[in-house]
Structure 1
């Protein structure tokens, strides 16, 4: 029985490379392709009789993580394997949280791509060894997971990040104002916004939390 695949990839060169890798295997059929998450959702609503999606992460209009989450809610039976050049912890964590069934890097060779697809269809999880190792580390260290989750929820403006950086160096409001060509009252307002976003009540708490979630 043939495995029906969809490929979601915005780079035409990489899309052709994936097609060529799958072309070696007669039991794999590429049913359709999409160039971003938005187009993927449109196509999957038209034709959801597929077994597995190979999903890129960084794409315009709708990224691969958000597309994965939406597909899994509506079509939980469809397997999704992330196929990306990005192997940072945040992407891995977000993809797994969104419901991805596997995570492979784009430099995977044809044999291992095929094996990953078949393993996933048989209930396993396709995973590049380096990704598997990082996933284990993430699971062993809940603090890292917590930090990544917190980091998702905190978004500072460039100016707020600058103020926070200066604050962490022990500078006074007046000195920060001088350095950044702002008034002390504007600096104070930025710091109030930082406290609110970080959900803290003191300079020390703000600096500690910002360091923990890699904002400074």
Structure 2
């Protein structure tokens, strides 16, 4: 497309993290990567000033809503036409938020749903400590473990310990899921 230049590509999260120092206007991000979830990259990419347009085959409700809550500027499914993807790139660069129709349904459902403060099983969520809530707040801003440790004045090992506790209490497996769960339950806000 005229006026656009491809700066870099990456097959996985590890090599994408190595490119974070490069200044780009827009990142097309897949969620299903071989070494983890692209959801965990959104905050880091946004911190560089880049816009993030998710282009993925994953169209389930949790993934769509988590990506948007993590700061994705748009969400298109890979089965979209090439024309739709090009249009999505331009819309995102112009400050818009392109979302595939099937993904938009989930976003609207989330907006319409009242805040829930319990797990789906109906049990009360284990109480998070004040420090764990602080950690979730900095993760919501896209901080890495090291950056979170520095910001909170604790060691990276202590961050790891808190993260394990958070994962157990919230019954999640990733930082992104933890932030999403805490936002959904009203423990933190974005």
Corresponding residue for residue 38 of structure 1 = 14
Structure 2 segments unaligned to the other structure (5+ residues): 127-167, 172-190
1:161-200 matches, cutoff 5 A? 197=169
Q: Do structure 1's residue 123 and structure 2's residue 95 form an aligned pair?
A: yes
106 and 100 in structure 1: CA distance in 2 versus 1, 3 angstrom threshold: same
Q: Do structure 1's residue 92 and structure 2's residue 68 form an aligned pair?
A: no
Corresponding residue for residue 161 of structure 1 = none
For residues 7 and 84 of structure 2, the distance between their equivalents in structure 1, rounded to whole angstroms, comes to 21
Q: 1:119 Cα deviation (Å)?
A: 0.8
Corresponding residue for residue 66 of structure 1 = 40
Corresponding residue for residue 28 of structure 1 = 4
For residues 82 and 32 of structure 2, the distance between their equivalents in structure 1, rounded to whole angstroms, comes to 22
* Structure with the larger helix share: 1
Structure 1 segments unaligned to the other structure (5+ residues): 1-24, 155-195, 200-216
For residues 67 and 198 of structure 1, the distance between their equivalents in structure 2, rounded to whole angstroms, comes to 21
Matched position secondary structure for 2:16: helix
Corresponding residue for residue 81 of structure 2 = 109
Q: 1:64 Cα deviation (Å)?
A: 0.6
- Could you tell which deviates more after superposition, 80-89 or 53-62? 53-62
Greater relative contact order: 1 or 2 (C-alpha under 8 angstroms, separation 6 or more)? 2
RMSD of the TM alignment (CA)? 2.8
State the number of aligned residues: 127
143 and 126 in structure 1: CA distance in 2 versus 1, 3 angstrom threshold: same
For residues 51 and 59 of structure 2, the distance between their equivalents in structure 1, rounded to whole angstroms, comes to 20
For residues 145 and 125 of structure 1, the distance between their equivalents in structure 2, rounded to whole angstroms, comes to 29
How high is the TM-score relative to the length of structure 1? 0.52
For residues 144 and 121 of structure 1, the distance between their equivalents in structure 2, rounded to whole angstroms, comes to 34
Matched position secondary structure for 1:103: strand
Q: Is the 8 A contact 2:65 2:106 kept in 1?
A: no
How high is the TM-score relative to the length of structure 2? 0.59
> CA-to-partner distance for each residue in 1:156-180, whole Å, 9 max, x for gaps?
xxxxxxxxxxxxxxxxxxxxxxxxx
Q: 1:44 Cα deviation (Å)?
A: 2.3
